[in-house]
Structure 1
Amino acid sequence: MKVLHLISGGDTGGAKTHIINLCSKLKNLVKLKIICFMYGPFYDEVKNAGIDIDVIPQRSRFDLSVVHKIYQMIEHEGYDIIHCHGARANFIGMFLKRKVKNIPFITTIHSDFDLDFQDVFYKRIIFSYLNKVSLKRFDYFISVGSALISKIKSLGIDEERIFLLYNGFDFAKEISFEEKDTFLTRYIDKSLYQSKTIVGNLSRLYKVKGLDVFIKAANLVVKDNPNVIFLIGGSGPQKEFLQNMINEFKLNDRVFLLGNIKNPYDFFNAIDINVISSYSETFPYSILEATALEKCCISSKVGSVPDLIEDGENGFLFEVGDYKELSKKIETLLNNKELITTFGIRLSQKAKEKFSAENMAKTQFEIYKKIMQKR
């Protein structure tokens, strides 16, 4: 079986991590190739993972000259399945499907497509619309979490054309990270974090990530807990807004914006409690990355996160946007440090059993076989 994956190549979030983890294992089950539309960190990481990848550059998002080039590649190399990831690849896939006959087109839905571009007005209006138009042209859909299935069905898609595939992580791979002091002293003075519990949130600085919830919770926690600080890792358009929040709450020595983090494991190694405060998610990879280091996690009750985190058993969940509940969950852990370790171990064990990259690749292969049988 030969599968061609299409993806933008500028991806920095879960889609990037998903396709690298997936294809690093799937390449042992099918003959696959990835095409992206720009050079950058994504291309480099995929190449370094030993996955077959090429770039067909686009001059702009609407440069459709790449369609014919991909079509020629399909005709020459004889692919059985075309598999797209993300709005740009979906847009290209819509035009490619008009030229390619009798080959199933699949797209993986990595996030809520109504929220993908909400931070930039014109992108929200134009790109969200074009993506939904493109999605309706596909034959089959893969949802990376159970919570997204109803969203896909809202496009008028029959449930029999939708498959569930949880994100998976390669827990067997070697993980490298800097020493805690080496990493932290690059951003803050040692006296500000020494002997303190560190609560972290690693995400892109977008509205949907709910970092305002995280800061509001921190504002409540620090009032009665002098030995805790809060770190936010990531970059994005909300940086100024979030810094203003920190200034207004007078949290400059308790909450820190670290900026872009090249290696997430540097961040997760340095913190004690990992927080996901998003308003919407499917299945965030940051939880799986943190569990690889046995980090305790508190998350908003979004997407398929409850399929991994069992509230009070291996972590904590809180209602979306409820910063008061989040603050109480953090304080519970601060008052019971042993629970931080216990939750971290339990969560890691469940993640390794049910959310491995090997399981993800095997499930994807079975999905491909079912689709080929349908055709």
Structure 2
Amino acid sequence: MKVLHLISGGDTGGAKTHIINLCSKLKNLVDLKIICFMYGPFYEEVKNASIDIDVIPQRSRFDLSVVDRLYNLIEEQGYDIIHCHGARANFIGMFLKRKLKDKPFITTIHSDFDLDFQDVFYKRIIFSYLNKISLKRFDYFISVGSGLISKIKSLGVNEKRIFLLYNGFDFDKQISFEEKDSFLSKYMDKSVYQSKTIVGNLSRLYKVKGLDVFIKAANLVVKDNPDVIFLIGGSGPQKEFLQNMINEFKLNDRVFLLGNIKNPYDFFNAIDINVISSYSETFPYSILEATALEKCCVSSKVGSVPDLIEDGENGFLFEVGDYKELARKIETLLNSRELITAFGKRLSQKAKEKFSADTMAKMQFDIYKKIMKKR
């Protein structure tokens, strides 16, 4: 079976991590290749993972000359399935499908497509609209977690054309990280974090990530807990807004924006409690990355997160946007170091059992076989 994956190449979030983790295992089950449309960190990371990848550069998002080049490649190499990831690949896939009517076209939905471009007005108006038009042309859909199935059905898609696939993590790979003191000393004096419990949130600085919820919760927690600090790792368009919130609450010595974090494990190694405060998610990779280091997690009840986190058993969940509930659950953990450790171990154990990259690749392979059988 030969499968061609199409993805923008400029991806930095969960879609990037998903396709690398998936294809690093899937390449042992199918003959696969990735095509992206720009050079950059994604391309280099995929190459370093020994996954077959090439670039067909686009001059702009609307440069459709790549369609003919892809068509020729698919015909020459005899690919059986074309599998797209993300809005740009979906848009190109829509035009490519017109020329390859006998090939099944699949798209993986990594996030709520109505929220993907929320932070930039013109992108929200234009790209979200074009993406939804493109999505309606696909034959099959893969939902990353159960939380997006109803969203896909809202496009008028029959449920029989939707397949469920959970994000998976390669727990066998070697993880490297900087020592805690070395990492944190880049951002603050040792006296700021020494003997403190550290609560962290690693995500892109976008509205959908709910970092305003995180800061509001921090504002409540610090009032009665002098031995805790809060770290936000990531970059994005909300940086100024979030810094203004921190200033307004007078939290400059308790809440810190660290900026872009190149190695997520540096961040997770340094913190004690991992928080996901998003308004919408599918299944955030940051939970799985943190569980590799046995970090406990408090998350908003979004997407398929409840399939991993059982509230009160191996972590805590809170209702979307409820910063008061988030604050209460952080305080519960601050009052019990034993609970932080126990939750971290239990969560890591469940993640390794049910959310491994090997399991994800096998599920994806089974989906391909079902689709080929239907054809």
1:70 is matched with which residue? 70
**Matches of 1:188 and 1:49, distance apart in 2:** 34
1:220 is matched with which residue? 220
Q: Secondary structure at the match of 2:175?
A: coil
Q: Cα RMSD (Å) of the superposition?
A: 0.3
What is the CA-CA distance between 1:100 and the residue it aligns to? 1.0
Matches within 5 A, 1:134-153: 134-153=134-153
Tell me the number of residue pairs that the alignment of Structure 1 and Structure 2 aligns.
Answer: 375
Amino acid at match of 2:260: N
Q: Secondary structure at the match of 2:370?
A: helix
1:41 is matched with which residue? 41
What is the CA-CA distance between 1:35 and the residue it aligns to? 0.1
Matches within 5 A, 1:117-196: 117-196=117-196
Q: Deviations over 1:222-258 (max 9, x none)?
A: 0000000000000000000000000000000000000
Q: Secondary structure at the match of 1:229?
A: strand
**Matches of 1:61 and 1:368, distance apart in 2:** 29
2:97 is matched with which residue? 97
Equivalent pairs: percent with the same residue? 90
1:317 aligned onto 2:348: no
**Matches of 2:50 and 2:187, distance apart in 1:** 34
Matches within 5 A, 1:248-259: 248-259=248-259
Amino acid at match of 2:298: I
TM-score (ref. length: structure 1): 1.00
Structure 1 stretches of 4+ with a deviation exceeding 6 A read none
Q: Secondary structure at the match of 1:317?
A: strand
Q: Secondary structure at the match of 2:312?
A: coil
1:349 aligned onto 2:349: yes
Amino acid at match of 1:364: Q
**Matches of 1:54 and 1:234, distance apart in 2:** 28
Q: Deviations over 1:251-274 (max 9, x none)?
A: 000000000000000000000000
**Matches of 1:141 and 1:371, distance apart in 2:** 11
Amino acid at match of 1:258: L
Q: Secondary structure at the match of 1:15?
A: helix
Q: Deviations over 1:261-302 (max 9, x none)?
A: 000000000000000000000000000000000000000000
**Matches of 1:155 and 1:19, distance apart in 2:** 24
2:358 is matched with which residue? 358
Q: Secondary structure at the match of 2:230?
A: strand
2:326 is matched with which residue? 326
2:233 is matched with which residue? 233
Q: Deviations over 1:152-209 (max 9, x none)?
A: 0000000000000000000000000000001000011111000000000000000000
1:367 is matched with which residue? 367
Q: Secondary structure at the match of 2:218?
A: helix
1:84 is matched with which residue? 84
**Matches of 2:151 and 2:79, distance apart in 1:** 29
Q: Secondary structure at the match of 1:32?
A: strand
1:110 is matched with which residue? 110
What is the CA-CA distance between 1:101 and the residue it aligns to? 2.6
Q: Secondary structure at the match of 1:232?
A: strand
Amino acid at match of 2:152: I
Which stretches in structure 1 are left out of the alignment for 5+ residues? none
**Matches of 2:292 and 2:329, distance apart in 1:** 22
2:286 is matched with which residue? 286
Q: Secondary structure at the match of 1:33?
A: strand
1:246 is matched with which residue? 246
